[in-house]
Amino acid sequence: MSNTTTTTNIPDRSWTGRGLARERWHGYLFLAPTLLFLAAVIVLPLFHAFWTSFQRIRGLSSTFVGFANYVRVLEDEAFWHSLRVSLGFVSISVVAHVLLGLLLALALNKITFARTALRVLFLTPWMVAAAVGATIWLWLLEPQFGVINYILQSAGIISAPIAWLGTPGTAFAAVTTVEIWRGVPFIMLLTLAGLQTIPAEQYEAAEIDGATTWQKFRHITLPNLKYLLVVASTLDIINVVRHYDIIGIMTGGGPAGATEVLPALLYNTAFRANRFGEAAAIGVLLLSMVLVFAAMYLRITRVGQEDDRR
């Protein structure tokens, strides 16, 4: 967590860092290739997406239709259904990520044996491609030969094999479980780094006062982690609300739209139904939701402000 923030207190000398007076504008030369490239691969496509959202596209021809795509999307029950699915998917996943990530970080922080090895191990689901993770879970959940049905049947929890991805309720539970499995390590890692910044003296003082484990957690750990947990949750919401790969691989949004989160609705509208205008409109609406959380994130962390001061 250190690299980006430790070196902002540069002594204010006229020469160093800000460059020689005669080369003041040279800095922009170093930035130019990146900025031009990003203009081409991000800004231009983004404008193109906005433009598409105001067009009706049939094959190669397109006509300007104003806000018709937005009206159509917002009048379509499928969009509101998808929004509700997203809301459920994101809130359950993020709450589970934070609770389990915190629990796991607290546990790892307590142990000294094999800590680094365990940390690497716990991070694997996050590092391996979501598409690959989802594929593995497809096999685990396979109705006839899948190992999860076998284990649950042997343990007497279920009496007959379940087609997990075949019915709406279990399909939603399944994709949410996989998202939780994938996302917990992210919160765990951030929390673990946060835990290590809490001064040991605070705990020592509390122990002298005879505080219980719960009291120490409630009055020292939690207040110290509050900022970090808020930031991490916001980032996690942004990551989960736009995530497509797991659902794309496992269900494609089905059955009966039960797992059709907004990115899945967007993909299906564009690439299955070939309605690019409406899909772009859904995308712009999704983007505006992401931006709300991005704005929250910026307010909390004040990213960028220290760079303006220099």
How many Å apart are CA 176 and CA 67, to the nearest integer? Answer: 34
Interacting residue with other proteins among 73, 94, 130, 258 (CB under 8 A): 130
95 is a contact residue toward other proteins (CB under 8 A): no
Of 75-83, 85-93, 106-114, 166-174, the window that binds other proteins (rule: CB under 8 A) is 106-114
Give the list of residues 6+ apart from residue 276 with CB closer than 8 angstroms, or none.
52, 55, 57, 270
Residues 31-60 that bind other proteins (CB under 8 A): 31, 33-35, 37-38, 41-42, 44-46, 48-49, 52
Least distance between other proteins and beta carbon 98 (Å): 14
189 binding other proteins? (CB under 8 A):
yes
Task: Tell which one of 22, 28, 156, 157 touches other proteins (CB under 8 A).
Answer: 28
Q: Which of 268, 287, 270 is nearest to 279 (CA)?
A: 270
- Binding to other proteins, residues 212-231 (CB under 8 A): 213, 228, 231
Q: How far is the CB of 66 from other proteins (least distance, A)?
A: 19
Q: Give residues with Cβ within 8 angstroms of 110, minimum separation 6.
A: none
Residues of this chain, 229-288, that bind other proteins according to CB under 8 A = 231-232, 235, 238, 241-242, 244-245, 248-249, 263, 266-267, 270-271, 276, 279-280, 283-284, 286-287
Would you call 252 helix, strand, or coil by DSSP?
coil
H helices of 242-275, in order, are: 245-250, 262-267
Burial of 12 (C-beta count, 10 Å sphere; 0-12/13-18/19+) = exposed
Among the listed ranges 70-78, 90-98, 111-119, 168-176, the one in contact with other proteins (CB under 8 A) is: 111-119
Q: Does 30 bind other proteins (CB under 8 A)?
A: yes
For residue 279, give Cα distances in angstroms to 53, 75, 276, 282.
Answer: 7, 14, 5, 5
Nearer to other proteins, 134 or 258 (CB): 134
Asked if residue 201 lies in contact with residue 111, where contact means CB atoms within 8 angstroms, the answer is no
Residue 158 in contact with other proteins, rule: CB under 8 A: no
Residues 137 to 156 in contact with other proteins, rule: CB under 8 A: 137-140, 142, 144-145, 147, 150, 154
Cα angle for residues 2, 95, 158 (degrees, 5° grid):
130
C-beta of 207: minimal distance to other proteins in Å? Answer: 8
Binding flag, residue 190, other proteins (CB under 8 A): yes
Most distant CA pair in the chain, distance: 80
* Residues 73-92 within binding reach of other proteins (CB under 8 A): none
Task: Specify the long-range contacts of residues 48-54, CB closer than 8 Å, at least 24 apart.
Answer: 49/280, 49/283, 49/284, 50/280, 50/284, 52/276, 52/277, 52/280, 53/277, 53/280, 53/281, 53/283, 53/284, 54/277
Only segment of 68-76, 78-86, 90-98, 192-200 that touches other proteins (CB under 8 A): 192-200
